[in-house]
Amino acid sequence: MSLITPLRDERTIVLQLRDAISALIEERGLKPGDQLPTEAELTRKFQISRPALREALKLLEQDGAIYVKHGKGRFVSAAAALQVERPITCFESVTDMMHKSGYRSTNKVVSISEEVASEEVQAALRLSPGARVIRLERLRMQREEVLVYCLDYIPRSVASDRLYDIDWSGSLLDLLERHDMRPRMSAAVAASVMLPHDVSERNDLHDFGPAFLITETAFTPTGVPVVFAKDYHRGSRFSFSFIRK
């Protein structure tokens, strides 16, 4: 098995190798306390350099998936065996998240505009004062029920097309991929809130109830911020899982 093959995603070799080793642990049915193959075995299997392998193993150790016994090797930890159905740490589009949650969702574009970035958006996207952004407001729906209210900001420089020539109803991440700017990771903050009053009024969402708000900035593999998003999930319809360690 070689990682030096054309891959559609743009993650670094180290990240791909980390995931490949995780998959290997699962494929071999390694249990907590079982020893990982040696560095020599892994470099031969994945046809990868020793420095890249050590970086990947370091990431797995930081994630708590493996641990080191000095002089003995690396071993699978209990955390590697824990599976969560809806990990809050999973970075994916809201469209994909809803499909995986069992919803056959539709997207309704409420508004699309170009404006000068506010101080909050400017800071999140590392923009210069006066820089312009695309503001995208959408409702994610299951039949007639609104499940997620989404507000996204994208640097205007990312897409040179006229706003109304772009189909904004699908996955924003897929759209950005067509401009070679697909994000692969994000920094996020989660909070329990109510929908902003003006949003409830304009969209007749008085029954939305408590929302689980995820505010995040999404980055390309090279660290360029390309989306600042605020996604309000209907609290009665979604739950997320996480591992504590």
Task: Per-residue pLDDT tens, the chain, 245 aa: give them.
Answer: 444 443 344 457 888 898 899 889 988 988 999 999 999 999 999 998 999 999 999 988 887 889 999 889 999 988 776 665 556 677 778 877 787 777 888 899 999 999 999 999 999 999 999 999 999 999 999 888 999 999 999 999 998 888 888 888 888 888 898 888 989 899 999 999 999 999 999 999 999 999 999 999 999 988 999 999 999 999 988 877 776 66
Q: Is residue 240 part of a domain?
A: no
Q: Domain count for the chain, please give it.
A: 2
Task: Supply the range of the domain harboring residue 39.
Answer: 13-81
Q: Model-level pTM?
A: 0.69
CATH number at residue 181: 3.40.1410.10
Element (DSSP H or E) covering residue 166 = none
SS3 labels along 14-41:
HHHHHHHHHHHHHHCCCCCCCECCCHHH
In a domain, 89, yes or no: no
Spell out a b/e string for 70-109, using b for 16 or more CB atoms within 10 Å of the CB, else e.
eeeebbbbebbeeeeeeeeeebebbbebbeebebebebee
What letter represents residue 100's amino acid?
Answer: K
State the CATH number of the domain containing residue 66.
1.10.10.10
Q: Are residues 65 and 133 in the same domain?
A: no
